Structure 1
Amino acid sequence: MYCTRDDLIERFGTTEIEDLEYGRPNAVAEALIDADGFINGYLASRYPLPLTAVPTLLKRIARDLVRYSLDNDPSEVISKRRDEAVSYLKGLSKGEVTLGLPVESEPDSLDTAEIQSDGHVFRRTDKSFI
């Protein structure tokens, strides 16, 4: 997990998290799982998963994604944080920015079809067959 309920409480406060989950006892747990899947979708193309250590930046991104998903009517500030998080994740997946972790190596083979030829059957200089 990129962040926990305690991380959310540390960042946003107990009262705010309890208000956001009022009447929805599993809301935080579901939002945490959704945020992990969302982040992994972007990271999987460049980094071997699961990550051995969670960079602080990913924890912040996860908290912002969870906070946004818990709010039925997010403010402009909350929406902007989410948009910035998604933008950063897109940059990570494209290799424009990095987490400072080892990147997944390129595969030896792309499992694509190859065509091989034994050479020409007809030659321009010789009008005969073979």
Structure 2
Amino acid sequence: MPYATRSDIEQIYGARQLLTLLAKDVDPDVAVARAIAAAEAMINPYLRKRYLVPLPVIPGIVQQCAIDIACWQLAPAADRMSEQIEKRAKLRLDFLKDVAAGKADIVELEGYPAIGDGGSNAQSGSGAAFFVEDRRYPPGGGLL
């Protein structure tokens, strides 16, 4: 499940505003999908420090981070990059850094398994999660 969609961006900033970010010779659907994928690729390493990804739900703040970072990805040219777009993206990245450092929490993810929750579960760098059950040995050792 993607963190955001083109429709999500348009609902907040409007379809016309979104189109102003795009170069005239690109397919808007392809460009937006790639920008959202790039935003997720930037977001996941921060989230992965604290939470198992993929996330079980997409919290509003994560969606907003994806939207603002995707818009920043879409407007790399100086003539399309506004100061506001850059500020919003940096604000979202700062928030994600705080989440990764444990200085900020994502309320909607409370109660879901988290990295370092004291269990013997782990996650690889690729996002794969590994779960280990407690081992039981009979008294005095030996095999079961």
**C-alpha distance in 1, partners of 2:63/2:4?**
5
Q: Name the residue aligned to 2:139.
A: none
- Unmatched 5+ residue regions in structure 2? 123-144
Q: Cα distance 1:109–1:17, how it changes in 2: closer, same or farther (>3 A)?
A: closer
**C-alpha distance in 1, partners of 2:14/2:53?**
30
Deviation at 1:70, TM superposition (A): 0.7
1:29 aligns to 2:33 (yes or no) = yes
Q: What does residue range 42-57 of structure 1 map to in structure 2 within 5 Å?
A: 42-57=46-61
TM-score by length of 2: 0.70
- What is the total number of aligned residue pairs between the two structures? 110
**C-alpha distance in 2, partners of 1:98/1:38?**
18
**C-alpha distance in 2, partners of 1:106/1:29?**
37
1:40 aligns to 2:44 (yes or no) = yes
**C-alpha distance in 2, partners of 1:106/1:42?**
20
Deviations 1:63-89 (A, max 9, x none): 110111111221111111111001000
Q: State the SS of the aligned residue for 1:98.
A: coil
**C-alpha distance in 1, partners of 2:104/2:89?**
18
Deviation at 1:18, TM superposition (A): 2.4
**C-alpha distance in 2, partners of 1:42/1:6?**
25
Q: Greater CA radius of gyration, 1 or 2?
A: 1
> Structure 2 residue aligned with 1:84, among 76, 88, 91?
91
**C-alpha distance in 1, partners of 2:56/2:121?**
26
- Unmatched 5+ residue regions in structure 1? 111-130
Root mean square deviation of aligned Cα? 1.8
Q: Name the residue aligned to 2:62.
A: 58
Q: What does residue range 1-40 of structure 1 map to in structure 2 within 5 Å?
A: 1-21=2-22, 22-25=24-27, 26-40=30-44
Deviations 1:102-123 (A, max 9, x none): 322256499xxxxxxxxxxxxx
Q: How high is the sequence identity, in percent, across the aligned residues? A: 29
Q: Name the residue aligned to 1:95.
A: 102
TM-score by length of 1: 0.77
